[in-house]
Amino acid sequence: MQPNLSGATRMHFILGDPIAQVQSPAFVTQSFVERGANALLAPINVTPADLDGFMAGVALARNVDGLIVTVPHKFACARHCSRLTERAQFLGAVNVMRRTSDGWYGDMVDGLGFVGSVKAKGVDLPGKRVLLVGAGGAGTAIALSFLEEGAGELAIYDADTARLDTLVGRLAERFPGRVRVGSPDPAGFDVVANATPMGMKPEDPLPVMVERLSPSTFVGCVITAPPASPLVEAARRLGCNTQVGKDMFQTLLARMVDHLLQPAD
């Protein structure tokens, strides 16, 4: 299905650096068409150094209604929003932005997509012990969603210790006694989640010590390219149930389009 391209077509961009790996444009555009919107999503490569200039320029393009935000701009783009959902305000990050009469309105739905797809795989999260690797934009949202869904213990690991300590400290205030700093050792956890880019390149190290995984552990990963990350492939060889980035995206898609197509205000 294709949009009815014309001067009336409403534009949306997905911005990141790099951007070639994203698969969202076709799927989001198809969802727009299925909902009766004359709109499309196009990829655009914006470096961190150029983000402020891009945001100033795109605000002048009156036929641009929304933005989807990917690595590495999720924290920086939150600062370009005049309004944020409570979730995005708490996390300090956004992955979807809609133009309103008073500026950009941002939300962060990565966590809802990832954790929703984990639940769809049959995982009952209340009381579970969860190891999350990655405290970046997606990781912060996924951490919040795991705790909101009742995870009994959430251990978070990130090589960036300052970023890690900030996230753990913020979450510990809202969920006392349920969140702590973790390590790459997955032994004893019911769920292991990778929210880092590790695995997109062949030379990347594995985000956890896979030899310490149990076959009963559920392993999930945010990476969409390759379709099954090296972590997921290793987990499957051990007999683990798994979730891949495409599973997350399928759950996330409707939430992003819902935000983008809300009536202008």
Q: Looking at the annotation, which residues are catalytic?
A: 74
Residues 6+ apart with CB under 8 A from 124: none
**What is the C-alpha separation between 44 and 121, in angstroms, rounded?**
33
Kind and range of the H or E run holding 65? strand 64-69
Cα separation, 83 vs 214, whole angstroms: 43
Tokens 């590495």 belong to residue: 72
CA distance 171 to 148: 11
CA distance 217 to 241: 7
- Residue 164 token pair: 């890690």
- Name the H helices within the chain: 24-34, 51-58, 74-78, 86-91, 110-120, 137-148, 161-174, 230-237, 245-260
- C-alpha 121/C-alpha 102 separation (Å) is 40
Residue with tokens 């320029």: 57
Residue with tokens 């030379």: 203
Structure tokens at 21: 């790996």
How far apart (Å, rounded) are the C-alpha atoms in residues 65 and 143? 29
Angle at 40 between CA 259 and CA 141, to 5 degrees: 35
